[in-house]
């Protein structure tokens, strides 16, 4: 485990620097796709086949509200915390067509999506290049999808009134970022697919025509939904994204992931918007606020259920809340302070854990849990590779594990491997998702059922990952 932790530190803190930061369009150049779907159709990989861990952050108003100095501060903070993808919206949600960006520029000429304002997009170009220099991908939403594409609460015009307008807008920005190696397109924007399917299809097809297939495309749906409900079989949809949302504690997002995981044809899936840190529960401060323990629970549940990655979010950060701005849904912390909330720093630990073992062979496997994995806040979730397993225990209650299952799965999944000794053993450790620390438990025969009791007193926030490594 230690070498993997060291490798993570090198990746996060020593990313290579790009040669240029010029805020200019790069549409004339070609770019080979820098990410693709893995051969087993469950993950994303780089072009050389190495795994890509999608650890996203929601920064929806990044292009719209921050200047370059602020953007540099934000991106550097997230780089240091181990994030790999920044999700941001070009035509922003909050009066994005009529309220200018930090430099006084609007995105469109005469509110026409077929006429891009060069000054506005020059700033978007700069953000994309700065993210590239820091080793970050940009999950770029061409537009937020409220009502009929930007009208929100009576503010803003309807700009995508027919599919051809959406297709042409997609072509324009697809062509503009054709040569940018660090783009992932995110169609949609908190929307359901029905009613406007032809427009979403046209926008996605325009993106693909414009960038020549250089970038992956997904769809960001509304709360409690997944892109798979409408677009799973679309050729343009490379992977599924769901939003488990912010309605309640202990929402079983693993069920949505498992549903997508079982669909055919097989496509990768992830929770692109689980409950945000410092978000009022069900949008009402009287219910309390989601904290880092809520964030960890949603993140580990979704990953161990089969998600190839996950997106973190902070309620104050996505809207870039600051004095003088109207808080949306009771935002209460200035965004710079909110960058350092504990949940954000804890995300690097889950990345460290999953990258410490063979990444592309990992599958969900509840059969490791002997007995009922239970439901609600205590729900236990397991994932494994050929010779390892991780079991997430959200409230520190004892769990019984069938150790022989790990041994059987290792042999069954490696038929061409050399024969293993008749008797094998399992090394067990506790992984602390708050600190990334490891505590040895012991070594046991890989047979029968064994009870493991996490450190500390059971209760919300005392979550642990049981790490099991199969030995010879």
SS3 159: coil
- Please report, in angstroms and rounded to a whole number, the separation of the first and last CA atoms in the chain: 17
What is the structure's pLDDT at 194?
Answer: 76
DSSP state string for 277-314: BTPBGGG-GGG-B--HHHHHHHHHHHHHTT-SEEEE-B
Longest alpha-carbon distance in the chain: 74
Whether 9 maps to a domain, the answer reads no
Same domain? 199 vs 304: yes
CA distance 436 to 268: 26
Query: Which one-letter DSSP state was computed for residue 48?
Result: T
CA distance 110 to 84: 35
Mean local confidence (pLDDT), 428-441? 98
- Which of 296, 328, 355 is where one domain is finished? 355
The H or E element that residue 142 is part of is strand 137-143
The pTM score is 0.91
Same domain? 386 vs 318: no
The Cβ of residue 17 has, within 10 Å, a number of other Cβ atoms equal to: 10
Number of H helices, E strands in the chain: 14, 22
- Which of 293, 323, 355 is where one domain is finished? 355
Residues 115, 108 contacting (CB under 8 angstroms): yes
- Domain hosting residue 372, numbered range: 365-471
* pLDDT tens-digit readout, 358-402: 999 999 999 999 989 999 999 999 999 999 999 999 999 999 999
- Weakest-pLDDT range from 140-149, 252-261, 347-356: 140-149
* pLDDT tens-digit readout, 1-44: 333 333 333 333 333 333 333 334 443 355 556 999 999 999 99
Same domain? 303 vs 419: no
Cα torsion through 266, 268, 271, 272, rounded to 10: -130
* pLDDT tens-digit readout, 400-416: 999 999 887 654 444 44
CATH of residue 112: 3.20.20.80
Report the Cα 340 to chain-centroid distance in Å: 19
Helix axes 197-211, 163-176, angle to 10 degrees: 30
Same domain? 330 vs 394: no
Same domain? 345 vs 416: no
CATH of residue 374: 2.60.40
Return the top range by mean pLDDT from 18-22, 31-35, 159-163, 176-180.
176-180
CA distance 26 to 37: 24
Residues 250, 20 contacting (CB under 8 angstroms): no
Mean local confidence (pLDDT), 54-74? 98
Whether 402 maps to a domain, the answer reads yes
When the pLDDT of each residue in the chain is averaged and rounded to a whole number, the result is 90
Same domain? 115 vs 167: yes
Whether 2 maps to a domain, the answer reads no
Same domain? 96 vs 188: yes
Same domain? 321 vs 457: no
CA distance 180 to 37: 18
Same domain? 48 vs 179: yes
Report the Cα 328 to chain-centroid distance in Å: 22
- In the numeric block, which tokens belong to residue 118? 């060069």
Number of domains in the chain: 2
Whether 166 maps to a domain, the answer reads yes
Same domain? 118 vs 260: yes
Task: State yes or no: cis peptide before 265, omega within 30 of 0.
Answer: yes
Closest by CA position to 98, among listed 84, 108, 89: 108
Whether 13 maps to a domain, the answer reads no
What is the structure's pLDDT at 150?
Answer: 58
Residues 395, 312 contacting (CB under 8 angstroms): no
């Amino acid at each position: 485990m230690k070498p993997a932790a060291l490798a993570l530190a090198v990746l996060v803190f020593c990313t290579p620097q790009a040669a240029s930061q010029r805020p200019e369009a790069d549409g004339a150049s070609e770019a080979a796709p820098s990410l693709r779907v893995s051969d087993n159709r469950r993950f994303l990989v780089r072009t050389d086949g190495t795994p890509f861990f999608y650890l996203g952050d929601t920064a929806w108003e990044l292009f719209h509200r921050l200047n370059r100095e602020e953007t540099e501060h934000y991106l550097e903070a997230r780089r240091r915390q181990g994030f790999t993808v920044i999700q941001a919206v070009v035509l922003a949600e909050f009066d994005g067509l009529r309220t200018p960006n930090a430099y006084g520029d609007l995105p469109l000429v005469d509110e026409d999506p077929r006429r891009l304002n060069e000054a506005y997009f020059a700033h978007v170009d700069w953000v994309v290049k700065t993210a590239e220099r820091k080793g970050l991908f940009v999950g770029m939403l061409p537009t937020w999808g409220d009502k009929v594409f930007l009208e929100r609460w009576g503010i803003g015009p309807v700009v995508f009134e027919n599919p051809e307008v959406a297709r042409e807008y997609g072509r324009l920005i697809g062509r503009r970022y054709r040569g940018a190696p660090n783009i992932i397109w995110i169609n949609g924007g908190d929307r359901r697919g029905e009613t406007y399917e032809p427009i979403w299809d046209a926008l996605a097809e325009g993106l693909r025509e414009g960038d020549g297939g250089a970038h992956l495309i997904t769809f960001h749906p509304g709360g409690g939904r997944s892109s798979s409900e409408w677009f799973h079989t679309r050729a343009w949809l490379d992977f599924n994204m769901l939003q488990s949302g912010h309605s309640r504690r202990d929402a079983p997002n693993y069920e949505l992931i498992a549903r997508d995981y079982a669909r055919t044809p097989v496509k990768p899936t992830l929770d692109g918007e689980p409950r945000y840190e410092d978000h009022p529960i069900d949008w009402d401060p009287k219910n309390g606020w989601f904290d880092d323990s809520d964030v960890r629970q949603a993140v580990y549940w979704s990953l161990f259920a089969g998600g190839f990655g996950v997106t973190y979010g902070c309620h104050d950060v996505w809207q870039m809340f600051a004095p003088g701005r109207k808080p949306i849904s009771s935002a209460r912390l200035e965004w710079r302070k909110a960058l350092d909330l504990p949940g954000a720093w804890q995300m690097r630990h889950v990345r460290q854990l999953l990258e410490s073992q063979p990444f592309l062979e990992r599958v969900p496997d509840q059969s490791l849990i002997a007995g009922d994995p239970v439901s609600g806040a205590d729900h236990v979730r397991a994932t494994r590779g050929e010779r390892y397993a991780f079991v997430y225990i959200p409230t520190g209650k004892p769990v019984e594990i069938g150790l022989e299952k790990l041994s059987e799965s290792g042999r069954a999944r490696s038929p061409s491997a050399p024969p293993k000794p008749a008797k094998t053993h399992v090394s067990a450790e506790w992984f602390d998702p708050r600190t990334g620390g490891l505590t040895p438990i012991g070594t046991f025969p890989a047979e029968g059922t064994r009870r493991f009791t996490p450190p500390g007193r059971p209760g919300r926030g005392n979550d642990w990952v049981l790490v099991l490594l199969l030995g010879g």
